[in-house]
Amino acid sequence: MNCDSSITKIKGVGEKTAELFSKMGVYTVGDILLRFPRDYFSYPTISTFPMEDGLNEGYRAILAPVSQRPRTQFYGGKSITTLAIGDEALQVQLTWFNSKFMEKTLIPGKRYVFFGKVFYKNGRWTMAQPKCMKPEEYRDLEGRLEPIYSLTEGMHNRTIIKAVKSVLAGEVLLSDYLPKDIREEQSLAEYNYAIKQIHFPDDMDALVRARRRLVFDEFFLFIMGMQYQKERQQKEANGFSFCDFDVIDQIMKTLPYPLTGAQKRTIMEIQKDMSGPYRMQRLVQGDVGSGKTIVAFLMMAWTSLSGYQSAIMAPTEVLARQHYESFTRMVEQFSLDTEVILLTGSMTQKEKRIAYERLQTVPNAMVVGTHALIQEKSIFSELALVITDEQHRFGVKQRDTFSEKGKKPHILVMSATPIPRTLAIILYGDLDISVIDEVPAKRLPIKNCVVNTSYREKAYSFIREQVEMGHQAYVICPLVEETENLDAENVEEYSRMLRKYYGGSISVGMLHGKMKNDEKNRVMEQFARNEIQVLVSTTVVEVGVNVPNATVMMIENADRFGLAQLHQLRGRVGRGDVQSYCIMINTSPSKNAAKRLEILNRSNDGFFIAAEDLKLRGPGDFFGIRQSGDLAFQIADIYQDSDVLTEASGVVHDILSADPGLEQENHLALHRRMEQFQETQLRKMNL
């Protein structure tokens, strides 16, 4: 058995278990070792009587003598065996079901450790189904941390524990791929030690050391993979020549609003890239509502005026159509000699054919679409600029396929993911970065409130007032239709209810992912034209949708959404220069839910929210960003472990500047491991 062996080679893992493992993305012996516990259970220290501080509910280990034999009583076919331990001040009732043999197991006069869950019920302390051990037996467990793994349906924690133990006992581990001098310099634990300890830690210190090593590995391999490729990739020459930027400066002057300083700076950086000697690969980061779309439009317009085609790819149909409409309007408004072409999956064959034809005949067209269609080959005559909007919604691979089109076009990716700039530089090592860290001046901060369900009526009449002033509102529900086992609002019923409530004076529309694409488009267009005033929707409006006339975002069951998601949803309002409002209905009694929503209530700043969310949830928890395609880390956390991230980045730099090809003898193992890591990452993304 080695790391590449199938998991069926592990003792006790049969076809059925293997199938469950495969659902978790575990196929080989190596995979199982690299699937770390999500948490640990720790065996408590022994308590004895008298207990000065009393007892608390939870798992306890109590050392006590047995003074009499346990007694068993029968109920129907079942039996319950009980025994009391303790002193005058505190008694604990031990109970076992269908375990008459306990009468013989426990010998009066002897001392045992009773381990189990303690709770207070009917006026007394009870420990149900305790395990009984000799004191020296328990001493072995005391303070020990047992792994808790994330599971898939049908899989048990103990099955994974057994499998991992069996692999570790087989000593199949590879040798450490990190050169010894680096390990020592960074005071990192040895690899095999770290793997063993992350699964079965000797104690807390060992766990911390193991974790630090494995966090380092994740960052190190990720950054190494990226930088290695970057070194390999020769800077590619810029194959296009652009016209004077004055034409765009002119347009900028006639915009209905002045651009922010951050927008102007970003535009200048892009312009410099595109007219420079090399192909551009740039990331534009900017919080929701910071105005990324106009930047994209201006750069595409410049490309058109220079005689080339450009394309922008959006993650949803709704967003693609919206860009298409606003770009078409602007092309007309600025009398640009070009054409905007839409390409999306929901178009009919005939519409698509016409679009392809236009692409062939308009050499400087601006193309707007979803990724599915833009991925098709050879449709562009001369593509000079490719933009990915909301790039955090796409995986790395998709970005790459897209960039292979035509004659190596310039690449611009736009993202609203709030990562501090220093981290972004490390994580997106292959991209240059512009940050739009300023919101348009005239914009008023959104007014927020978090309320309970008794506020609903007030919210509806507030929405009515806003609509009477000419504005519009979104109402977000977590569900599409009623479901049996989830007590949350659904779009279908909610829109029926609101329609009745407003009695025809206000037009209420509905939008969700189960609707047909053309139906969705129709509703979105009606909302954009203010023919629908209140749009009841699922989170399909979450990304990018821009209807500046909407001033109210009401979110039902707000406690069911992640903070990052709520922040994106809220970003749908506050896009014009009138006051906007976000009403979050909290339906959860939990204190934690209230605390989380309070963060949003206090701030409209994506970076602040991300950081607070982390503090509240604590390490080991997920903030949305960690699940996004680009940053698929298992235990590393870019916020909590930012110091390790910086160290790893430094080490990568040192190694690559001494050995750019990773060809030195002592780097060969590392080279192999890096390639392996990249394969796993790609596999994960395709899961």
Residues that bind ligand ADP (CB under 6 A): 257, 259-260, 263, 286, 288-294, 440, 544, 546, 548, 575
318 close to 521: Cβ distance less than 8 angstroms: yes
Rounded to a whole number of angstroms, the minimum distance from the CB of residue 389 to ligand ADP is 7
- In the list ligand ADP, Mg ion, none, the entry touching 147 (Cβ below 5 to 8 angstroms by class) is none
Rounded to a whole number of angstroms, the minimum distance from the CB of residue 268 to ligand ADP is 15
Output 206 or 625, the one with its CB closest to Mg ion.
Answer: 625
Beta bridge partners of 231: none
Rounded to a whole number of angstroms, the minimum distance from the CB of residue 358 to ligand ADP is 26
- In the list ligand ADP, Mg ion, none, the entry touching 288 (Cβ below 5 to 8 angstroms by class) is ligand ADP
Output 147 or 544, the one with its CB closest to ligand ADP.
Answer: 544
# residues near Mg ion by CB under 5 A:
1
Output 168 or 294, the one with its CB closest to ligand ADP.
Answer: 294
508 close to 536: Cβ distance less than 8 angstroms: yes
Output 290 or 490, the one with its CB closest to ligand ADP.
Answer: 290
607 close to 480: Cβ distance less than 8 angstroms: no
- In the list Mg ion, ligand ADP, none, the entry touching 97 (Cβ below 5 to 8 angstroms by class) is none
- In the list ligand ADP, Mg ion, none, the entry touching 364 (Cβ below 5 to 8 angstroms by class) is none
- In the list ligand ADP, Mg ion, none, the entry touching 294 (Cβ below 5 to 8 angstroms by class) is ligand ADP
- In the list Mg ion, ligand ADP, none, the entry touching 440 (Cβ below 5 to 8 angstroms by class) is ligand ADP
- Among 144, 92, 143, smallest CA distance to 121 is for 92
Instruction: Give the residue at shortest CB distance from Mg ion.
Output: 544
Contacts of 379 (CB under 8 A, 6+ apart): 356, 359
Q: Could you give the CA distance from residue 243 to residue 625 in angstroms, rounded to a whole number?
A: 39
Rounded to a whole number of angstroms, the minimum distance from the CB of residue 533 to ligand ADP is 18
Rounded to a whole number of angstroms, the minimum distance from the CB of residue 249 to ligand ADP is 15
Rounded to a whole number of angstroms, the minimum distance from the CB of residue 329 to ligand ADP is 11
- In the list ligand ADP, Mg ion, none, the entry touching 299 (Cβ below 5 to 8 angstroms by class) is none
Rounded to a whole number of angstroms, the minimum distance from the CB of residue 498 to ligand ADP is 26
Q: Could you give the CA distance from residue 47 to residue 18 in angstroms, rounded to a whole number?
A: 41
Output 312 or 374, the one with its CB closest to Mg ion.
Answer: 312
Name the one range near Mg ion by CB under 5 A: 203-211, 465-473, 487-495, 539-547.
539-547
The pair of structure tokens assigned to 296 is 């994209």
The pair of structure tokens assigned to 325 is 């409409």
543 close to 319: Cβ distance less than 8 angstroms: yes
Secondary structure (DSSP) of 364-413: T-EEEEEHHHHTSSS--SSEEEEEESSGGGS-HHHHHHHHTSSS--EEEE
Rounded to a whole number of angstroms, the minimum distance from the CB of residue 644 to Mg ion is 33
Output 81 or 293, the one with its CB closest to ligand ADP.
Answer: 293
Output 542 or 612, the one with its CB closest to ligand ADP.
Answer: 542
Contacts of 167 (CB under 8 A, 6+ apart): 1, 10, 29, 32, 33
212 close to 644: Cβ distance less than 8 angstroms: yes
239 close to 407: Cβ distance less than 8 angstroms: yes
- In the list ligand ADP, Mg ion, none, the entry touching 120 (Cβ below 5 to 8 angstroms by class) is none
Output 542 or 612, the one with its CB closest to Mg ion.
Answer: 542
Output 546 or 678, the one with its CB closest to ligand ADP.
Answer: 546
Residue selected from 289, 395, 544, 576 as contacting Mg ion according to rule CB under 5 A: 544
- In the list ligand ADP, Mg ion, none, the entry touching 260 (Cβ below 5 to 8 angstroms by class) is ligand ADP
Q: Could you give the CA distance from residue 260 to residue 438 in angstroms, rounded to a whole number?
A: 7
The pair of structure tokens assigned to 437 is 């860290």
The angle that helices 246-254 and 292-305 make with each other, rounded to 10 degrees, is: 140
Output 273 or 389, the one with its CB closest to ligand ADP.
Answer: 389
Output 292 or 371, the one with its CB closest to ligand ADP.
Answer: 292
Rounded to a whole number of angstroms, the minimum distance from the CB of residue 549 to ligand ADP is 10
564 close to 624: Cβ distance less than 8 angstroms: yes
Rounded to a whole number of angstroms, the minimum distance from the CB of residue 311 to ligand ADP is 17
Output 285 or 681, the one with its CB closest to Mg ion.
Answer: 285
Q: Could you give the CA distance from residue 27 to residue 365 in angstroms, rounded to a whole number?
A: 47
Residue 112: φ, ψ to 5°:
-130, 160
Residue 387: φ, ψ to 5°:
-120, 135
Instruction: Give the residue at shortest CB distance from ligand ADP.
Output: 291
- In the list Mg ion, ligand ADP, none, the entry touching 290 (Cβ below 5 to 8 angstroms by class) is ligand ADP
Rounded to a whole number of angstroms, the minimum distance from the CB of residue 544 to ligand ADP is 6
Strands (E), 87-170: 91-97, 111-121, 124-133, 145-148
Q: Could you give the CA distance from residue 437 to residue 421 in angstroms, rounded to a whole number?
A: 10
Q: Could you give the CA distance from residue 186 to residue 329 in angstroms, rounded to a whole number?
A: 57
Rounded to a whole number of angstroms, the minimum distance from the CB of residue 580 to ligand ADP is 11
Amino acid at 633: F
Rounded to a whole number of angstroms, the minimum distance from the CB of residue 341 to ligand ADP is 21
- In the list ligand ADP, Mg ion, none, the entry touching 259 (Cβ below 5 to 8 angstroms by class) is ligand ADP
- Among 183, 296, 211, smallest CA distance to 635 is for 211
Rounded to a whole number of angstroms, the minimum distance from the CB of residue 245 to ligand ADP is 18
Name the one range near Mg ion by CB under 5 A: 22-30, 76-84, 157-165, 542-550.
542-550
* Cβ density class 494-532: b for 16+ within 10 Å, e for less: bbeebbebbeeebbbbbbbeebeeeebbebbeebbeeeb
Rounded to a whole number of angstroms, the minimum distance from the CB of residue 622 to Mg ion is 24
Output 414 or 648, the one with its CB closest to Mg ion.
Answer: 414
Rounded to a whole number of angstroms, the minimum distance from the CB of residue 390 to Mg ion is 6
Output 148 or 294, the one with its CB closest to ligand ADP.
Answer: 294
Strand order in the sheet with 78-86: 46-48, 58-65, 111-121, 124-133, 91-97, 78-86, 71-75
* Cβ density class 328-365: b for 16+ within 10 Å, e for less: bebbeebebebbbbbbbebbeeeebeebbebbeebebb
Q: Is 2 helix (H, G, I), strand (E, B) or coil?
A: coil
Name the one range near Mg ion by CB under 5 A: 67-75, 171-179, 265-273, 543-551.
543-551
Output 70 or 544, the one with its CB closest to ligand ADP.
Answer: 544
- In the list Mg ion, ligand ADP, none, the entry touching 286 (Cβ below 5 to 8 angstroms by class) is ligand ADP
Residues 325-384 that bind Mg ion (CB under 5 A): none
Output 61 or 566, the one with its CB closest to ligand ADP.
Answer: 566
Q: Could you give the CA distance from residue 366 to residue 330 in angstroms, rounded to a whole number?
A: 12
Q: Could you give the CA distance from residue 55 to residue 60 in angstroms, rounded to a whole number?
A: 9
571 binds Mg ion (CB under 5 A): no
Q: Where do we find the tokens 């450790």?
A: 113
List of residues contacting Mg ion (CB under 5 A): 544
